[in-house]
Structure 1
């Protein structure tokens, strides 16, 4: 069994086909027996007829090894019917020998190769012709071959039918196993795509949060250089340095998330707010309990993206983060007030909100995003995520 991304992919093994060597050996033995026992063989009369019919029957018997793609069902019925008359004719022409074995094996092959109705008809024809030959007393060794031979020549068709049913069961089992393998591969691919999407969200969050902040501070420092306000330039560059350090911390968080390590939610949120310049902005309510690792990772990413958006679209505005522990769920709300400084036009991937919705959907939670219309933060923005805990 092969494994891919934690999903076992069964390996289908083709069941062994019927032992072709034994089949060829059986046919060769029948042909050899007929060549050594069927008599008379000559150049006139019944002996000539037997000499012609014997190789013809050997050819008909050898044709049972032809695959179905070479000899389809309709031609196979014609072949078996002609072979039945050829066997009866050989038994009529020869006075001794094992020509009747051709009839047994052809009847058995009819049951293996054909559907039930045509197989039964062919077997009845073979058995009827064999019995008729013995009945009219012109068959080989009437005193030595019991009547039961003629009456039971068609019975091997039952063995052929059983073998055909077994073969069809093997084919069905093989097809079912192949279908299972295809389904497992599709599931593995789905898991792979989901994993890629998760990594893409994490990489986006880290880059958007750190690089957007650094870009804004550098643009601010560049604008302040023209005014000659070196003190504010130094402040901006210090802030950029701080954001670079924060981006390193974010990279560590990303590695933890990709490895599915559990991070301390409260400590991580506090460090995130402090590095963004929003001190004492975290409010925790409810009884703190154990939170699943997946919920912690995604809540941190939602908070990170919300702070990035607040810094980009509402620079200087106050930010409040609330963490509410409820029975069976946990709610994270990030609210920012309106901007107090000029908004710098920057680039945005547009994937932040999409990523947050995907994260909440994976956790089977809810996400509410929209402007704040009342209170001290009116004119700002609010992101509220509720996920199972």
Structure 2
């Protein structure tokens, strides 16, 4: 900002002011005048010329003030023989007032200048009583209304272009947000699937390998190694299958069919082979595929957690369909555990909670008291009808 109240003028505005002033002085020196009234000497025309040139310095920063002062200078110039440079610079002030002024001024100025042009035409027509007065009104319109209307058109075009640019930026931002959300959701889905497919096998390997190392019993070690080999081969096959899916079907691997509740017997049998005492009680009819998959994964993860953390005792798995929902309940003994344990990260509980949330159900997992002592209970309620179209995987 310059020293004082007035802001520093734009360089282009300075160029307009200097060119207009020098051009006007040259016209005055050559005796080139417009059809002014001539009530004042021609030298007096330099005053409105200088004032209008000064207002050109404010055309961008103080457009409305510059237009008002320029209009007064043009009125004074009409009392002299007139200077074309003053008129030309005034037209630029009218244009700039609409282009750079406030939105309200941009709406008012074209209307006001149009009314002034009509009023001038009618006034001279009544005064002269001669059709020549129409040309006076036309000249007033060219000097005031024309530039103001042009400024309004340019401003509207710029605002439309800016609005289109902002819409394009918003569209790009929304598209990027959608992409990030899609990537995040896909990563979460992959994490759940990887955890559910492999964690059970790795947990069994960890438990039995620890037992084999801690117990000096050849028979126990042999049984543990058999379980370790079985789970490592199964886990490796699952990993290969998942890698094949992630590589978009490269190789001969095909995605495995989504597990259903028909596979719970095999799942429980595998848990029993890993040393769990599991009881299964199911009572349900035909269920939507997303509900079956979510219920299967919840039971699978609960059995894996029981294998890693539960105390010795009975593990119960119960599924019951009622009132448009499927209730899934898995309980296991809770308390201090002797013997080997597998580390847990909490990702399994997070995955189960996410699966239930995608279907619009409820999920709880916490210790509670029972007639047989302290137990860890996992409860999930999955809506069977009007299931949201989420991806439970």
Same fold (TM over 0.5): yes
RMSD after superposition: 5.0
- SS of the aligned residue for 1:155 comes to helix
Asked if residue 240 in structure 1 is aligned to residue 228 in structure 2, the reply is yes
Q: Tell me the alpha carbon deviations over residues 110-133 of structure 1, each in whole angstroms, 9 at most, x when there is no partner.
A: 2333236656579669969xx79x
For the pair 1:344 / 2:344, whether they are aligned, the reply is no
User: Of residues 140, 155, 158 in structure 2, which corresponds to 1:164?
Assistant: 155
- The Cα shift of 1:210 comes to 2.5
Counterpart selection for 2:188 from 191, 194, 197: 197
Match of 2:317 in 1: 321
Deviates more, 1:257-266 or 1:156-165: 257-266
1:221 is displaced (CA, Å) by 0.8
Of 356-365 and 323-332, deviating more is: 323-332
Taking the TM superposition and a 5 Å limit, the aligned residue runs for 1:227-266 are 229-248=217-236, 250-251=238-239, 263-266=258-261
Which residue in the other structure is 1:7 paired with?
none
> 1:289 is matched with which residue?
287
- 186, 199, 210: which one aligns with 2:201: 210
Q: 1:188 to 1:351 in 2, by over 3 A?
A: same
Give how far 1:237 is off.
Answer: 0.8
For residues 290-344 of structure 1, what are the alpha-carbon distances to aligned partners after superposition, in whole Å with 9 as ceiling and x for unaligned? 322xx34433332222111111223654434333344533232223357998332
Cα 1:97/1:312, change in 2 over 3 Å: closer
Question: 2:68 and 2:115 mapped to 1: Cα distance?
Answer: 8
Cα 1:198–1:342 shift into 2, 3 Å:
same
What CA distance in whole angstroms lies between the structure 2 residues aligned with 1:303 and 1:208? 13
- Note the C-alpha offset of 1:348: 1.9
Q: Structure 1 residues 55 and 239, CA, compared in 2 at 3 Å: closer, same or farther?
A: same
- RCO higher in structure (CA 8 A, sep ≥6): 1
**TM-aligned CA distance change 1:333 to 1:351, over 3 Å:** same
- Structure 2's unaligned 5+ residue stretches are 1-11, 34-40, 125-131, 249-254, 385-393
- 1:130-189 alpha-carbon deviations (Å, 9 max, x no partner): x79x98xxxxxxx89932145434323345345534543543454355345434433443
Alpha-carbon distance in 2 for matches of 1:280, 1:216: 17
Q: 2:278, 2:314 within 8 Å by CA — same for their partners in 1? A: no
- 1:255, distance to aligned residue in structure 2 (A): 6.5
| SS of residue matched to 2:30 | coil
C-alpha distance in 2 between matches for 1:242 and 1:349: 24
Instruction: Give 1:371 deviation, angstroms.
Output: 4.4
Provide the rounded CA distance (Å) in 2 between the counterparts of 1:118 and 1:216.
80
* Distance apart, 1:39 and its partner CA: 6.1
For residues 38-117 of structure 1, the aligned pairs below 5 Å read: 41-42=29-30, 71-72=60-61, 74=62, 76-81=63-68, 83-84=70-71, 100=87, 103-115=90-102
Report deviation, 1:220.
Answer: 0.8
Task: Flag structure 1 segments of 5+ consecutive residues without an equivalent.
Answer: 1-23, 65-70, 136-142
How many residues are paired up? 337
Measured against aligned partners, the alpha-carbon deviations of 1:23-74 in whole angstroms (never above 9, x if no partner) come to x9xxx9xx99xx8xx967528997778799889979988997xxxxxx33x2
1:358 aligns with 2:347: no
Q: What SS does the corresponding residue of 1:321 show, helix, strand or coil?
A: strand
Q: Tell me if 1:385 matches 2:374.
A: no
Q: Distance in 2 between matches of 1:325 and 1:252?
A: 35
Shift of the 205–286 alpha-carbon distance from structure 1 to 2, 3 Å rule, reads closer
Contact 1:39 1:94 in 2 (8 A): no
1:369 to 365, 370, 383: 365
Tell me if the contact between 1:332 and 1:385 (Cα under 8 Å) persists in the aligned partners: yes
Q: Normalized against structure 2, the TM-score is what?
A: 0.64
Question: Normalization by structure 1: what TM-score?
Answer: 0.64
